[in-house]
Structure 1
């Protein structure tokens, strides 16, 4: 066996291997002898099957196994010669060339490994920013909303029509194409007018009704309505207004503050402080996520230069390509199948984006280690469960789906990235 190793760059190694026919035959013989010792075959005692019988039964398979083992040995030798540790290897080796002759098999294999990244000076690229401020008007507006939400509803006794901002207690029954709409009826349903809770046009047509009055309301379901059977179709609803309710006037005092904060020692002033903190946190979160984090990751990618593992970049390109293909029409797919150049052109179009994505991942990984940022498996599961419940999905089913699709590592990496960028921005803010 001849093995020649050369580093392509600081993330990839080229291994040239040549395996003679005689070596393959010897290895095949050895495998056959090992198999004969454990093989069960009618007419022979276990472990006493002649090697010739084993070779006759598994001839081609023995040769394939011999070649596979020899190439693994060549790979191991090449990796050892290159001085690469097993835990530094990334992805699967890629055969760049494979030639079979009567005398030998020759192959060129690329092996990728984790690049070493010099992250010195990463703090310098964290962008400057002004800490968001919260005005007294914003605090008062939020408190007003909280007080209003805590106020109980009371029935309107005066003889007046329903108006914007009222809560209507209604019975309704819906029809589409003359047939009763499944799930489209209710009794004593509370609907705040102006909330946008119902289909567009429904609430507006209730305005002006008086308790006891019945009215037929006509609306059209949106084209993108979740129930495709009725999306875009006109509907009629027979609606009876039973009662009008409005919020009672509630005075903000320490007792109400205790209820709103669920704290025994709460005061109005403490409520204002909490509201101010929450508003500031929300503004800061928006600034971080919409502006500063994208800017920071871009700056980090621009700052550091290092070689990328070829097979990881190829995997990322394949991922982008698969996503693109999923959104293509059958006609577009047919055109690609018939033109290899177009497939290559499409694949190449994702190369730069894939390289930047892979580069960012390695930078984040290195910085997370430097900043001691970690995300454990329990945090990942909790995040998946929380998001699933927010979407009204079954958390366990979503978790199992992600596990089957192999998405957990990507989710974990995204969480580490978010945690890291937040930590770097917080540190920048504290330095001011």
Structure 2
């Protein structure tokens, strides 16, 4: 059936596959389909299945030719892909090249077509050892513990109505009704807002009248005059002066619990004292710090590995990575996708512009994955069944699950190999740390380091 096949390598791990199908096989594909249509065709003036082939060709020839061509290409590609190494990536659909140059399969000549698709990239791994990288000196301090405790206090605080006659103050949560007045002192209905809630001092309101609200009592009305600079955040108010009538309808305050054993017990039954809670906070902070150190070391080492290696990320692989990132972005936003797109449009962005922003990091991430695969293939770090079980046991403890139940779930859903691969990657990273020199640099603050501000 296949008379000839030729693979031409293009840029970015793409190939052009040219296939020539023997003339007899090409013509047979067309004639077989034509005969099949002839058996079932109902054409006026002829009994069902008795219309001559020439009549069918006159009436349906173009459609039959197209269908036969598609089937011939599909069957040919299926055969060729079993024979060649350059198979398409799962997310790379072969596309016809030079479609206008396609011949007619019923002409009695060899039929030639070409498709373009992405293949797994050829990765030429450079050196991955002997580098020297520097990381800052960072330690968890009491200040870091105190900051986390303050967050816990905030999370366990209560919002209550302020006492009768109390005035609004910074950090209070107020509810207001407001409306803008025109030059004649009339209310502009389109600017009216009822039951608008914000925290005084955050300036999370259109007119940023936080300071003007301070000192107002519940049910008090006030006429506020505001002038805005030319570079004001909201363009509709930039360079303008306005009058706003504001009525405070509710004033609430946040009551923060004391830092004591009772708070620790409220957080979790596993804590009996504040000291227990503080100890666990330090453990979590140190684990986060160690994880961050691994990320920073990994990025620094892979920057050097990428620089000395050769590989081109296929377009379809990059597109799939960006689409996966987009789906995670949608899930994290907790909005329907169309609503998120509208929100981006308000900011002057689109899904396409977001992809352009993400593209460099997505490409780097794929290069890291591909290079790590090569390193693991070369070093062959061993992962035992005992290590896999230990990892599942650890996950069970962290998530408050029974080990046997979690292990059964992993086995039932075919996730055991995924755990093994994760462990293999960790060992691969540990190996990179061993093969390269890590130098301690200047001291850095924990929070700055964790937020990449050092």
Q: What's the TM-score, normalizing by structure 2?
A: 0.54
Query: 1:96 deviation in Å?
Result: 5.4
- Whether 1:258 aligns to 2:259 is no
Task: Indicate which of 190, 196, 199 corresponds to 2:203.
Answer: 196
- Whether 1:54 aligns to 2:63 is no
Query: 1:202 deviation in Å?
Result: 1.0
Task: Indicate which of 369, 383, 406 corresponds to 1:364.
Answer: 369
**3-state secondary structure, aligned to 1:82:** coil
Query: 1:37 deviation in Å?
Result: 2.0
Is the Cα–Cα contact under 8 Å of residues 313 and 358 in structure 1 kept in the other structure? no
**3-state secondary structure, aligned to 1:175:** strand
Is the Cα–Cα contact under 8 Å of residues 271 and 277 in structure 2 kept in the other structure? no
Q: Tell me, in whole angstroms, the C-alpha distance in 1 between the residues paired with 2:269 and 2:157.
A: 18
Is the Cα–Cα contact under 8 Å of residues 175 and 235 in structure 1 kept in the other structure? yes
Query: 1:204 deviation in Å?
Result: 0.9
Is the Cα–Cα contact under 8 Å of residues 254 and 266 in structure 1 kept in the other structure? yes
Structure 1 gap ranges (5+): 320-326, 328-349, 373-415
Aligned to 1:185: 194
Q: Tell me, in whole angstroms, the C-alpha distance in 2 between the residues paired with 1:179 and 1:421.
A: 66
1:356-399 C-alpha deviation (Å, 9 max, x unpaired): 96685365267479699xxxxxxxxxxxxxxxxxxxxxxxxxxx
Q: Tell me, in whole angstroms, the C-alpha distance in 2 between the residues paired with 1:51 and 1:78.
A: 32
Change (3 A) 1:40 1:196: same
Query: 1:135 deviation in Å?
Result: 1.4
Q: Tell me, in whole angstroms, the C-alpha distance in 2 between the residues paired with 1:133 and 1:251.
A: 27
Query: 1:63 deviation in Å?
Result: 3.3
Is the Cα–Cα contact under 8 Å of residues 119 and 304 in structure 1 kept in the other structure? yes
1:313-337 C-alpha deviation (Å, 9 max, x unpaired): 8979xx9xxxxxxx9xxxxxxxxxx
Query: 1:253 deviation in Å?
Result: 2.0
Aligned to 2:400: none
**3-state secondary structure, aligned to 2:94:** strand
1:4-33 C-alpha deviation (Å, 9 max, x unpaired): 424648956554445677765554333211
- Whether 1:136 aligns to 2:142 is yes
- Whether 1:305 aligns to 2:306 is no
Change (3 A) 1:234 1:364: farther
Q: Tell me, in whole angstroms, the C-alpha distance in 1 between the residues paired with 2:138 and 2:144.
A: 13
**3-state secondary structure, aligned to 1:114:** coil
Is the Cα–Cα contact under 8 Å of residues 36 and 50 in structure 1 kept in the other structure? yes
Aligned to 1:273: 279
**3-state secondary structure, aligned to 1:56:** helix
Is the Cα–Cα contact under 8 Å of residues 127 and 305 in structure 2 kept in the other structure? no
Is the Cα–Cα contact under 8 Å of residues 170 and 239 in structure 1 kept in the other structure? no
Q: Tell me, in whole angstroms, the C-alpha distance in 2 between the residues paired with 1:64 and 1:248.
A: 74
Q: Tell me, in whole angstroms, the C-alpha distance in 2 between the residues paired with 1:213 and 1:14.
A: 76
Aligned to 1:322: none
Change (3 A) 1:112 1:267: same
Q: Tell me, in whole angstroms, the C-alpha distance in 1 between the residues paired with 2:424 and 2:299.
A: 9
User: What aligned pairs does 1:198-237 form with structure 2 within 5 A after superposition?
Assistant: 198-199=205-206, 201-209=208-216, 213-219=220-226, 236-237=243-244
**3-state secondary structure, aligned to 2:140:** coil
Aligned to 2:38: 36
Aligned to 1:337: none
Q: Tell me, in whole angstroms, the C-alpha distance in 2 between the residues paired with 1:106 and 1:430.
A: 53
Is the Cα–Cα contact under 8 Å of residues 127 and 308 in structure 2 kept in the other structure? no
Query: 1:53 deviation in Å?
Result: 2.5
Query: 1:184 deviation in Å?
Result: 1.3
**3-state secondary structure, aligned to 1:91:** coil
Give aligned pairs, total.
Answer: 345
Is the Cα–Cα contact under 8 Å of residues 173 and 180 in structure 1 kept in the other structure? no
Structure 2 gap ranges (5+): 324-343, 345-355, 384-418, 439-454
Q: Tell me, in whole angstroms, the C-alpha distance in 2 between the residues paired with 1:169 and 1:90.
A: 55
Task: Give the aligned CA root-mean-square deviation in angstroms.
Answer: 5.5
Task: Indicate which of 119, 126, 132 corresponds to 1:113.
Answer: 119
Q: Tell me, in whole angstroms, the C-alpha distance in 2 between the residues paired with 1:126 and 1:50.
A: 80
User: What aligned pairs does 1:363-402 form with structure 2 within 5 A after superposition?
Assistant: 364=369, 367=372
Q: Tell me, in whole angstroms, the C-alpha distance in 2 between the residues paired with 1:367 and 1:303.
A: 14
